[in-house]
Structure formats: structure tokens, C-alpha cells
Amino acid sequence: MADVAIEIPGRAAGRVGGHVLRKDVRLSGLTMISLGSVIGSGWLLGELGAAKAAGPASMFSWILAGLILVFIALVYCELGAAYPVSGGTARFPHIGFGALGGFTGGWMAFMQAVTIAPIEVEAAETYLSSKYNIGLLITSGPNTGTLTGRGIALAAGFMILFSVINIMGIRWLAETNTIATTWKVIVPTLTFAALLIVAFHAHNFDNAAAGGFAPDGTKGVFSALPLGVVFALLGFEQAAQVAGEGRNPQRDVPRAILLAFGIGTAIYLLLQLAFIGAIYHLTTWSNGGLSTTNAFGPYAALASHATLGWLVVLLYIDAVISPSGTGLCYIGTASRLSYGMGRNRWFPRWVDWIDRRGIPIVSIGISFVIGMLVFLPFGSWAGLVGFVTSATCLMYALAPVALGALRRSDPDRPRPFRLPAAGIICPVSFIGANLIVYWSGWSTVFWMYMIVIFGGILFAIYRLAVPNARQTVLDWRAASWIVPWLGGMAILSWQGQFNGATPTIFGLTLTNTNNLPFWWDLVVVAFWSLVIYYWAVQVGLNKSKVAELTADVEHEAKAEEPLWDTL
């Protein structure tokens, strides 16, 4: 293939090494990339966390999460079709709000994506450790559930494999992921069907000895969302992340997102139903009805007790395949996000370099290195899930705000998928994303904001290090709402009802106050979200600045025709 040089306003020709991303993925491939990201370790371990927090009422946790996230999915359908670029979650806010708005969304999206691949590997090793005594986990002390040296070595092998497949190209990624995702749909389907037929006990849904249907009331339903429920449903937007490599993204991205979200939500809801009904040792929902020795492999424990030996074998095989397939996708996603941030000139110019085969190879290497750091003893699977969920919902929150602003400043753009009732759905989905962040608890929000501040410091250092001619325009007015938004959410979380472990930094213990009464706290979060939403829409970039930024989108979308038919 001949090298393709592209001319983009404000950039030199060959900005990405003279090469462009290959456009090789069709609807089925995009759907499988999103669905493969949705169905991962969440189905193996998420239902247990939800049951502990809410008991049988965790069914409503899945329904509530689905209602909140479907609105956000619809927002991504329009954005992904109208602006078909790779690393979309980093670039939609940039188009709407300039460098500061875009970097905030891009940094949170990158930290979320680069963290999920190692979390999925840790989930696989956690599940296997419940069956085999192979020294992969620390089983006691303050770091219980984290990886040993042997576990980290095995995890490195997984991460290298994911990176190699991504380096081989988007076609290899899509085809490998399609095979893994097909398996990942079959096994949970067999699991809930088998448990419903063989081991279902309807009385588990109203067992007075265990606290009844909702042992912790409505608060338990909300608390379950960041404990694996929302995490399990994350990833539907992945089709928008690789839209720049789709054959017909304007048509296929919305379809892929909705198909993946619908299939994934239905599977998880049925799994929670089967999980609750199949519990065999129920004295309290605080341990999910399982003994602590089986807590790392809950479905395998249920299948074993129901004498479904064939299902136990499938579950332990799936404990490797299912998380690995999701980790494979997220190495690809993280690399596209760092590529997108490089193209936006938030990272050094070599970050978005593409080789002769159209592979963002430098970004893949960055994702591997940062992912390996996550295996250090920062927390177990369950501990990291809350952080990732909160970070993802901050990323999700920027999508409806960006759409609202771009509807105003870029009204003439062709929109192959046009979100109906966007004036209602966008602010409602922004409220929903902020509520999930709030439900994550003060401790999670605090440490997440430390990561946001760290990213801002890196961004400032990089800007100081480059010549003025290469610095991005910050557009302070367009991003004037971001610090008040994040600061307000931090204060509400600190004053609110959802805590978690109390954060301590530099010897200072920062305990939340519980001053906001339950229910009123939700009203205040919703009100603050609406204030920020309408502020952001009003101050977004004007039409001429949006036109300058979308020139990059146009060049990227038209730089190369598809080379061959594939998925």
C-alpha cells in the first residue's frame, strides 16, 4: 500500500507518520467489539457484589442501570455516526469545548480504558484461584485479593498476548474478538438456563431470615450500582472508539451500540435472576448467600452444588476466555484514546504515530506499560471496579453535554442517526451519569479526583515544554463549567450518604459528613447537574471554531477507502 499523506489545517502533512488508520470493520465486527467489552468479568463476579448490597432487590439495580445507560448509549449513537473518528470519547468533548474540555474527557476515558484490561486479567486469576491453589493471589493481610509475584508474571503474559494481537491490526482484533465474544454469549446463556431449570428456589426472593426482598431498602439498590452492576454494562461505546476504522461508521456505529447494549443488558438481568434463585446457603445477604471460600467463584460454586459438573468445567474455561476477550478489546480502546489525544496535541506528537500497516503501535505500547502498573497492590478486583465505574461515568457525562453543545454550534452537520427528544434525553442522561458517580461513594470520588488532578498537572507540564506555535488553544470560556462541575460533585459526595473506606492523604483523614439526608441528596445532585448542563451548552465553542476542529474529522474519515471486505 502506498503511503498516504494528509493535509490538516494547523498540522504538517504526514502528521501521523504519513500513514492512516485502516477502515476494515463492518457492522458485525463493530457489534462484537462493543458486546465483547460489555460481557467480561462483570458476569462472573458482578452479580455477587450486587446481591450483597441489595439482596433480591438487585434486580432493580440492573433495571435502573439499564435505564440510565441506554440514554447515554443513544447519545453515543448520534455522536459516533456524526463524528466517525477513532478515540471518540476523547475527541467529542474536544470538538464541543476545546482543549480543556476535551482533555478532561479524554484523560478520564484513557484512565478507564487502560485500567480495564488488567482488571479483567486479575478477574480471571481471581476466579481460577477459587479452584486451583496455584499461588496467584495474596489471601490474607491488608492486600487480600491482589496478585502475588507469580500472579503478576502470568498477568504480564496475558497483557503481552493482548498487545501482540492488537499490533497485528484491527482486522485481527475484530476477528479474534468475534470468536471470543461468541463463546462469551453462549456460556452465560447456558448458565442462567441451567440454574433456572435445576436449582431455582423462588423463596430466596423473600427470605425473612436474610432480610427479605430489599434488606437495605432503596439505598441498597443504589449502592449496588457501582459494585459491579454499572461496571458490567460498560463498553457499549466501544464501536464509537474505533469508528475511524469502520467501513461505514455513519450507518453501522449506532446499530452496533444498540445491539450490544440490548443483548448485554438482557443477559445480565437473567443471570441475576438465576443467581438469586440458585443460592443454597442463605442466612444473610451480606455474603451473597455463599461461604467466603467460594466468593471468588460464585457461579462455579452454585453449579457444583447443583451437581452440574459440565457447567463447572465451562465456567472455569470461561473464566479465562471471557475476561481475556474484554481485556483484548480494551487494549485496543486505550491505544485509540491515546492516539486521539495525540492528534489533539495533548500528548507528544510521537504518541499518535501510525506504522505502514495502519497500526497505532506506539499507543499500544503505552497502554501495555500503564496497564502493567495497575497490577501493583492497589486493590482487589472489587476495589478497582468502583474506581473504573466512577471514572467511566465522568467520561459518559461529557457525551450528552457535548451533543447538546454541538447541536447548537454545528447544526448543519449530517446526522445519520438523530437522537429523538435530545433536549430531554441529554440532560437526563447527564443527571444519571452524575448520580452513578455520587453513588460510588466519597472515597472512590476522592481518589478519582486525585487522578484527574494528576492528569491536569501532566497536561500543564507538557504545554510549558512545547513551543507556543504547537500549543493547543485552551478556550477558557468554553470550558468554564468543568471545574465548578467537578468541584460541586466532590462537595456533594463529601456531604452525602455514600462513603466507602475513608480516604487518608498526607496523614489527613477525610471523612464524609452524611449531612445531606437521603433522597434530598439525590435531588441536589440532579439540580446541580441541570445547572451545569445548561451552562455548558451555552458556553460551548462557536460555529467557526467547531468547523476548524471538525476539519480533522473530515480528513480522517475520507483519507482512505477500505482495502478489503472483512467482518
Q: Domains of the chain: which residue ranges?
A: 27-558
- What pLDDT was estimated at residue 2? 32
Helix, strand or coil for residue 199?
A: coil
Contacts of residue 158, Cβ cutoff 8 Å, sequence gap at least 6 = 121, 124, 324, 327
Q: Measured at the alpha carbon of residue 72, what is the angle toward residues 67 and 76, in degrees to the nearest 5?
A: 145
- What pLDDT was estimated at residue 266? 93
Domain 27-558: which CATH number of 1.10.3720.10, 1.20.1740.10, 3.40.50.300, 1.20.1430.10: 1.20.1740.10
- What pLDDT was estimated at residue 263? 93
**Residue 399 Cα to chain centre, angstroms:** 13
- What pLDDT was estimated at residue 484? 95
Helix, strand or coil for residue 222?
A: helix
Spatial contact of 75 and 105, defined as CB atoms under 8 Å apart: no
- What pLDDT was estimated at residue 9? 33
Which residues of the chain are modeled with pLDDT < 50?
Answer: 1-18, 292-293, 559-567
Q: Label residues 79-114 b or e (16+ Cβ within 10 Å = b).
A: bbbbbbbbbbbbbbbbbbbbbbbbbbbbbbbbbbbb
- What pLDDT was estimated at residue 17? 44
Q: Measured at the alpha carbon of residue 452, what is the angle toward residues 449 and 458, in degrees to the nearest 5?
A: 145
CA–CA distance from 267 to each of 66, 190, 277, 288 (Å)? 12, 11, 16, 20
Give the integer Cα–Cα distance in Å for 232 and 272. Answer: 12
Contacts of residue 503, Cβ cutoff 8 Å, sequence gap at least 6 = 442, 443, 446, 447, 509, 510
Spatial contact of 298 and 48, defined as CB atoms under 8 Å apart: yes
DSSP code per residue over 305-360? HTT-HHHHHHHHHHHHHHHHHHHHHHHHHHHHHHHHHHHTTSS-GGGG---TTS--
- What pLDDT was estimated at residue 7? 30
Q: Which of 44, 185, 48, 179 is nearest to 122 (CA)?
A: 44
Q: Which of 440, 55, 59, 65 is nearest to 217 (CA)?
A: 55
CA–CA distance from 513 to each of 43, 167, 217, 390, 507 (Å)? 34, 49, 21, 20, 19
